[in-house]
Every structure is written in C-alpha cells, then in structure tokens.
Amino acid sequence: QELERGWDEEEIITLPIGLSVMDNFRYTENGPVYSPKNRTLGVTPLVLAAAEGRDAAVCILLGFSNIDKEPDSGVTALFMALYYNRISTAKMLLRQGAKVKASGYNALHAAPKSGSCEMITDLVKLYYVNVNVEDIDGATPIVYALQQPDERARSTILHLRCLKASEDLKLDHRWTFKDIARAIRKHSLVSEYGIPDDIFHLFIRLTLS
C-alpha cells in the first residue's frame, strides 16, 4: 500500500508559461497585455512521464496509477502529452481509456497549442469533443492555437475553422479572439481570420472542389 501511494506522489515542475492560455495575459484599460511568466505546478510520475513522451515509463506507471488522476494543477496525463506534442503517448493513453475531459481543461485545448491537427481531428470526429469547448476561463481551442509561431498558428486555426470552430467569443473582461491575437502580436491572423463563417466555408468548399 505504501508503494502504491508513492506512484501518485506529486513533483513540482516549472513551466515557462501558464497552462491556461488566459493566465498569460494581464488586464489593462486598453485591453489584454501578453505577459507570460514561469508557472510551477505539481505533477504525478505518470503526468510527468506523459509530458516527456516516455512511453515505456507511461506503460509501466499505468499499472499502478489512475490514468485520469488530476493533481492539484488539474491536468491529466493525456492533457500534458498533447500539450507537449507527444502524439504516440497521447494515442496510447486514449487506447487505454483516458478521458478527454478534466475538471478545468479538455484534451482539445492541449492539441491546438502544440499544433497537432491529426489529434484535433480525432478528438472532434472520434471522441465527439465540441470544437468550441471552453476551458475554466472560457477560452476555446482556437485561442490556444494562437500560442504557436505564426505559420503553425495559421495552419492550426485554418484546420479548426474547417471543423466549424468560431472565434466569435467573449473571454474574461469581454476580450475577443482579435484582442488576444493582437496582444500576442499575431496581427496578420486578425485580418486573415476576421472573415464571416459563411463566407469562409464557401471559400473552403470552392477551394477544395
């Protein structure tokens, strides 16, 4: 029993940004300001192994750990595997029955942050996750995609919009997708994706036909 308890003991790690996309912004009267800071969080051995993509260790730890256990940080092994683009690890966890939803986050928030269009499609098409699912702060997958470099953000957002994602949303302080994009200096994406959904999807159909 003491040994089993050890498998779930938490370790403190430091991340360069907050896991929740909205943790990386601060409020001003003129709108959001992008201000990422180091964040510490507690993770179990399983969550840490998943984040590092150590599939063999994950396989062993699954024999002693709750696959969906949420440490105090509220993130699961599946979330962290997708957050760090550990695709083989994420697929293994899903095959073992990992739930896509945690208390404050969904696996579909992590996949766009890492730009995994394959996993985004699987989560929407195979696991029936709402493409506009909100996290604990009201941010949707399309907002998480903004954290990538410009070109990867562009392709991920395009992929999400093809799956009917919308940037017509209101976040904390009534911030919009455009407000967040501007704050994170994704100015080109604001003009590109400020297109009404009906016109956008007509364009996609014509392009693919």
CATH number of 158's domain: 1.25.40.20
Residues 1 and 100 in one domain: yes
Enclosing domain of residue 25: 1-104
Name the band, by pLDDT with cuts 50, 70 and 90, for residue 2. very low
pTM, rounded to two decimals: 0.85
Query: Residue 203 pLDDT more than 50?
Result: no
Among candidate residues 177, 185, 167, the one with its CA nearest the CA of residue 36: 185
User: What is the average pLDDT across 34-46?
Assistant: 88
**Tally of CB atoms within 10 A around 87:** 16
Tell me the per-residue pLDDT of 100-124, one tens digit each, with 9 for 90 and over.
988 788 999 999 999 999 999 999 9
Residues 100 and 191 in one domain: no
Burial of residue 2, with CB atoms counted within 10 A of its CB: 0-12 exposed, 13-18 middle, 19 or more buried: exposed
